[in-house]
Structure 1
Amino acid sequence: MSRRVVIAPDSFKGTCAAGEVAGALADGWRTVEPSADIELRPMADGGEGTLEAFAAAVPDARRMPLRVTGPAAVPVDASWLLLPPDDALPGGTGVVELASTSGIELLTGGLRGRDASTIGFGQAIRAALDHGVSRLVLGIGSSASTDGGIGLLTALGARFTDEYDVSVPPGAAGLDELRKADLTRLRAVPDGGVLVLTDVTNALTGPEGAARVFGPQKGLDDGGIERAEAGLERLAGLLPADPDTPGAGAAGGAGFGLLAWGARLVGGAAEIAELTGLTGAVHGADVVITGEGSYDGQSAGGKTPSFVVELGASAGARVAVVAGRVDDDAETDGIDVISLTALSGSADAALSDPVRWLRAAGERLARDVAAGGES
């Protein structure tokens, strides 16, 4: 009887997309066990790779290309994903990813933090609404901005103005001048609702808020952080949402803006697993493999690999993690762990040809499982 293997990695950021990681591991496994029943379920947590995760898991999903205003205010070619309709959702589901429309990897030149905006993300959401989708699934990881979502809401019809009723500029800089919010022309949420995928539980403001925790990653200096904090506090008084809601501070406060629109924030990895069928796929699996670029102590804090590990273990499968590198503080009890750095001999070797070493890791896991031993 063929062994059943489910491969559900996150992306190796900056190196390999999740689908490429899954395919390489599967190729390696098949060199040892060609008859294995392998199911590829590349994962994400709402950030980079969210569209790919759905595209790989949902038959007949369609990419819908468009051009949006990127975070640096220059055009960006992107796409959203249309999932097939059903009786409950006759217009289908639109999946939109902030990372590919307003993400930090899209910044050009020296632009950071204060001027970066989520307007492109809102434009992609609007395109999905114009198409007539019945539900939206929005991934908001990898944001470039700290604009509280005013960019995306502007693209959806809201208006944010200063004391003279002049529209404020984009990004956190616009929060400096913000005094009024007009939501009368804001597009309605679709009948099937809006799910927002995030692995962040921070509030909008405060010591653990969007500006103070994530602002430095986006180029805000100490003065910029305090100005963004003050602007987000003003925004909190203008929009109909609770700034203390877990996840309101996600994506520079875009989570808060989406809450004000009427969206619901959910855990990214868990929701993607449910929506793409991973939860059902692991039942009856003999082996479940996951992974990410760096597996460390933070990986146990709700990130994709820890979620998949728990899912596989609860289904009674043997569980393995493959990572570019594995830190000493990583949780490894009861699971097989392979470091590409250790396997290849150095970080440089692993980074120079990750697909080769992912295949080698898949082959090694297959041999260890066949032998009944530990990797």
Structure 2
Amino acid sequence: MSHVVVAPDKFKGSLTAPRVAEAVARGLREVVPDLDVRCLPVADGGDGTVDAAVAAGFVKVGRWVTGPLGKPVAASFAIKGTTAVVEVAAASGLALLDAPAPVTATSRGTGELLVSALDLGCTTIVLGVGGSACTDGGAGMLDAIGDRDFGHVDLVLASDVDNPLLGPHGAAAVYGPQKGATPEQVDVLEERLTRFSRRAPELVDVPGAGAAGGIGFAALLLGATRRPGIEVVLELVGFAEAVDGARLVITGEGSLDEQTRHGKAPAGVAAASGDVPVVAVAGRCEIQPGELGLKAAYALLDIEPDVTRCLAQAALLLELAGGRIARDWLGE
């Protein structure tokens, strides 16, 4: 029997991607004990990207950096050879705040992580920009970098966001309210970004400049190339090699819904799997699996309809889902 690849994203607020993969693998092996299961947790470029890289053989490096409110926070990035993976969420993320701080949050800690990667000799740096707390245009990040030379670095902006820096579709207008900004604060942020954008007005309307509160703009200023996050992560974890000769691919995330179409991990995994059938596990499924290129979807809420219990028992329910997938797809 050929192998099975288990390549899910995290179940946000419940389980990390590695734990999701492990739980599904246990369920598969309960039904097919000698099954060759290859766990390959993934991410879409946001929080969880470092975890996915570490699960694929990268080494986690810890650093104390400046948090979004200016106080020290413990953050990590991943490194393998001369390649580093840095998450904005790790140093400048919304999850690091007890309460939103849309006007004062800084991206300085992200710049400090980039400097650490540079100091370790990295010449390729992947910057995943999901989950940011700040809308500073990457000013804090650039301040931390100072006069460091990124000319020899292949800097990859891992993001599916194509928003410009300014205007009604820009960083402040679109994402400021998601970070707690009032309409008045959105106006303040827009004014600040407008002033800051004078450093490189030619980059203001480049797709992706508005990513992560304008960190995309700062990354482009450093010479970054924007690429879809899931595409970058699949390369980092060696997905093409893992799926070669596979019998089945299992992916997933907390909710399969309309957003999944737009650069989320399950859609990316399905697109990259070629002729290998792909099924998904999810907390809930609000879209027809075929619309994502999936053969089927297994929702945990179909097993345990109580949301509170479903979240609390997610690992056990994923094992059960793994067993169902084995019986449905791996029978002789």
Give the TM-score, by structure 2 length: 0.95
Indicate yes or no: 2:54 matched with 1:55: yes
Aligned residues of 2:250 and 2:278 also touching (Cα < 8 A): yes
Residue identity (%) = 41
Indicate yes or no: 2:35 matched with 1:36: yes
Structure 1 SS opposite 2:79: strand
**Aligned counterpart in structure 1 of residue 148 of structure 2, from 187, 194, 202:** 187
Indicate yes or no: 2:94 matched with 1:104: yes
> Partner of 1:131 in structure 2?
120
**Aligned counterpart in structure 2 of residue 360 of structure 1, from 314, 317, 320:** 320
Q: How many residues align?
A: 331
> Partner of 1:76 in structure 2?
73
- Residue 111 of structure 1 deviates from its aligned partner by 4.2
Aligned residues of 1:309 and 1:319 also touching (Cα < 8 A): yes
Q: Segments of 4+ in structure 1 off by > 2 A?
A: 328-334
CA distance in 2, matches of 1:46, 1:298: 15
Indicate yes or no: 2:241 matched with 1:244: no
Indicate yes or no: 2:308 matched with 1:348: yes
- Residue 246 of structure 1 deviates from its aligned partner by 1.3
- Residue 287 of structure 1 deviates from its aligned partner by 0.5
Q: CA RMSD in A?
A: 1.6
Aligned residues of 1:135 and 1:190 also touching (Cα < 8 A): no
Structure 1 SS opposite 2:14: coil
CA distance in 2, matches of 1:37, 1:191: 41
Change (3 A) 1:310 1:328: closer
Change (3 A) 1:73 1:111: farther
Aligned residues of 1:72 and 1:111 also touching (Cα < 8 A): no
Aligned residues of 2:267 and 2:292 also touching (Cα < 8 A): no
Change (3 A) 1:332 1:69: closer
> Partner of 1:178 in structure 2?
none
> Partner of 1:285 in structure 2?
246
Q: Could you tell me which amino acid in structure 1 is paired with residue 284 of structure 2?
A: R
Aligned residues of 1:240 and 1:260 also touching (Cα < 8 A): no
Indicate yes or no: 2:155 matched with 1:198: no
- Residue 249 of structure 1 deviates from its aligned partner by 0.6
CA distance in 1, matches of 2:118, 2:202: 22
Structure 1 SS opposite 2:220: helix
- Residue 192 of structure 1 deviates from its aligned partner by 4.0
CA distance in 2, matches of 1:334, 1:154: 44
Structure 1 SS opposite 2:125: strand
> Partner of 1:162 in structure 2?
none
- 1:136-151 to 2 correspondences below 5 Å: 136-151=125-140
CA distance in 2, matches of 1:150, 1:267: 23
> Partner of 2:20 in structure 1?
21
Q: Could you tell me which amino acid in structure 2 is paired with residue 197 of structure 1?
A: A
CA distance in 2, matches of 1:252, 1:309: 29
Give the TM-score, by structure 1 length: 0.85
Q: Rg bigger for which structure?
A: 1
CA distance in 1, matches of 2:97, 2:68: 6
Structure 2 SS opposite 1:237: helix
Indicate yes or no: 2:230 matched with 1:269: yes
- Residue 97 of structure 1 deviates from its aligned partner by 1.1
- Residue 332 of structure 1 deviates from its aligned partner by 6.0
- Residue 291 of structure 1 deviates from its aligned partner by 0.5
**Alpha-carbon displacement from aligned partner over 1:266-305 (angstroms, at most 9, x marks no partner):** 1110111112211232222111111011110121122111
- Residue 371 of structure 1 deviates from its aligned partner by 4.0
CA distance in 2, matches of 1:250, 1:333: 27
Aligned residues of 1:51 and 1:96 also touching (Cα < 8 A): yes
Q: Could you tell me which amino acid in structure 2 is paired with residue 70 of structure 1?
A: G
**Alpha-carbon displacement from aligned partner over 1:141-166 (angstroms, at most 9, x marks no partner):** 11001000001000001xxxxxxxxx
Structure 2 SS opposite 1:199: coil
**Alpha-carbon displacement from aligned partner over 1:30-62 (angstroms, at most 9, x marks no partner):** 10111211111111111111111111113xx32
Structure 1 SS opposite 2:330: helix
Change (3 A) 1:327 1:146: same
